[in-house]
Structure 1
Amino acid sequence: MAAPNMIIIYVDSPEKSVGFYRQLLGVEPVEQSATFALFVLSNGFKLGMWSKHTVEPAAGAAGGGMEICFPCEQPEQVDAFYQQWLAKGLAMIQPPVAMDFGYTFVAEDLDGHRLRVYKLND
């Protein structure tokens, strides 16, 4: 069976989302048009952004129903990401907190998709 290697999120404006994710990820998109954009990260993960107004077949999801996760190796890295993202003006919906699975916080992108940074418990 083929292993997934890409996720596509539906966004209101791929152009605005590219600006947001360019700043967040520190990389340029490998593809960008008025209706779609694609980032390929150093680990091979692909993040696509498709205009919710033009996706085919049409999707009922309005955005915000997705969580993109960023693992850390140390709790201090979680705190560092929190401070960096806070300084960049990201909307924070959960401050750093210890949960049953580990230490985490959650921010949101322009379309309400969740961005979770975490360090799993050992």
Structure 2
Amino acid sequence: MIDSNSILLFVTDATKSASFYSQLLGQDPVDASPTFAMFILPSGLALGLWGKAGVEPAPAAMGGGCDVGFRVATTEMVDELHAEWQGKGATVLLPPTNLDFGRSFVAADPDGHRLRVYNVAEG
């Protein structure tokens, strides 16, 4: 039986990516090596960063094909995290915008993985 869930992102440089995510998330990885790092997000989801050179079978695609979502409690938090992440060097692909489901912005990590921060609108 499955006892936990994780998302594994294939990255060019696991150490560099771990540093980026440490700064962005305000936490250190729970496990780190030159080829892999693992973060446990507040929701309990594990976010792994795996150096693509060691992945078997080799990945067919890299970042940008989907979003890793970070749901926040308020629309104000979307705007606050946007300013914070932009100040920490994240590349913003979409500034805070009201969409049909709520308020959201999209940033990218060094490998082009899309990070969507969002708040779901009431009603």
Structure 1 counterpart SS, 2:116: strand
User: Does residue 1:109 correspond to 2:85, yes or no?
Assistant: no
Seq. identity, %: 47
Matched residue SS, 2:53: coil
Matches within 5 A, 1:79-118: 79-118=79-118
TM-score, reference length from structure 1: 0.92
Which 5+ residue runs of structure 1 have no aligned equivalent?
none
| CA positional deviation for 1:43 | 2.8
Question: Would the aligned equivalents of 1:9 and 1:66 in 2 still touch at CA under 8 Å?
Answer: no
1:11-30 equivalences in 2 (<5 Å):
11-30=11-30
Over the aligned positions, Cα root-mean-square deviation in angstroms equals: 1.5
Distance change in 2, residues 1:66/1:33 (3 Å): farther
Give, in whole Å, the separation in 2 of the partners of 1:46 and 1:10: 14
2:55 is paired with a residue whose SS is: coil
Find runs of 4+ consecutive structure 1 residues off by over 4 angstroms: none
Alignment gaps of 5+ in structure 2:
none
Q: Does the aligned pair in 2 maintain the 1:6–1:46 contact within 8 Å?
A: yes
How far apart, CA to CA, are the structure 2 residues paired with 1:63 and 1:98?
Answer: 24
Provide the rounded CA distance (Å) in 2 between the counterparts of 1:63 and 1:4: 23
